[in-house]
Copies of this chain bind each other. A is one copy, B any other.
Amino acid sequence: MIRIGVDAMGGDFAPDAVVSGAVLALKHLNADERIVLFGDQQRILEILARENANPTDFDIVHTSEVIEMGDLPSKAFAKKTDSSIVKGFMALAAGKIDGFASAGSTGAMMVGAFMVIKQIPGIIRPGIAGFIPVSESKLNVILDVGLNPDCRPDVLYQYGKLGSIYAQRVLGIDNPRVALLNIGEEEEKGNLVTKSAFEMMKDSTDYTFVGNVEGHHLFHDKKADVVVCDGFVGNVVLKEAEAFYHLLKKFSPENKFIERFNSENYGGTPVLGVNKPVIIAHGASSPVAIMNMIKQTREVIVSDLCEKIKQAFM
């Protein structure tokens, strides 16, 4: 039995959007896969009733507190011990759930990931991965997208390894091509950190390094499956893509091509390099985004990603 923990109270439209998203996700799960909702039991049951969903299809862990977006993450995590996020992490640490996902406070999720679940030995700094559409059906992985705005070259090197394992295990890409995001394709281009990272990556035996890619290579897969960058650049790149999507949606609301850029379709952002599956999603997540977050959490659990990463860094 696989148990997918979901923070029902996390996100701008919680608990409604989360519970509705969980109902949508249920249709995509196998019989031995269950969603465990952490949150206000009564409100969850009300939403399930409104959705004509069967409450016995879900496990509910009642919590009385919520970590708000305005709360100081570490303080709130320490104090709000009956919050959905804290209880979710406790259940994850205890093995009562196999992964935990939330569209709530990213800061509190990070506190839980680092303090409760802890990073995998050998990993210098965990990262968070984002996704970029490169064809009708394929996504490229990009990391880090915001956890580490200042990266040492050896951290970038490791992101190549983490991204490669993710692409292989979760996205099913054999021998993923790892590229370094840079300002020129030539080896000598870049800032001090990417130049030094290139030196390390070009000799990699951990993954297939294919060299530098530039900003205009991001949306096709001719060159790479995994794109490595620091969390500052990755965050800007991903938000710029988001801006384009919103611009274009206004202009052509029902276009399949444009819909490829809708980040709702990619679910959440996995935290790579911690001991158990932790997935964070956009605060503004809709039910569809939550459904995809849950599906993605399931993929990360089923692929045994964290174990594969542990083995690779032993």
Let me know if A243 and B257 touch, CB within 8 A.
no
B243 touches A217 (CB 8 A): yes
Interface residue tally of chain A, by bracket? 35 or more
A98 shortest CB reach to chain B, Å: 31
* A150-B192 in contact given A231-B183, A235-B215 (Cβ < 8 Å): yes
**Residues of chain A in range 188-245 having any CB-CB distance to chain B below 8 Å:** 190-192, 194, 214-219, 229-233, 235-244
User: Once bound together, how far apart are the Cα atoms of A203 and B21, in whole Å?
Assistant: 46
**Chain B residues with CB below 8 A from A217, complex form:** 243
Query: Does B232 contact A183, Cβ atoms closer than 8 Å?
Result: yes
Number of copies: 2
CA distance A243 to B241 in the complex (A): 10
- Asked if B242 contacts A215 (CB within 8 A), the reply is yes
The distance in angstroms between the C-alpha atoms of A257 and B150, with both chains bound, is: 36
Q: Contact at B237–A215, with CB atoms within 8 Å?
A: yes
B233 touches A216 (CB 8 A): no
Give me the interface of A with B, judged by CB distance under 8 Å.
Answer: 146, 149-150, 181, 183, 190-192, 194, 214-219, 229-233, 235-244, 246-248, 251, 257
Given A215-B239, A251-B257, 15 other A-B residues pairs in contact with their CB atoms under 8 A = A146-B183, A149-B191, A150-B191, A181-B236, A214-B235, A214-B239, A215-B236, A215-B240, A216-B246, A219-B243, A219-B244, A229-B236, A233-B233, A236-B237, A240-B240
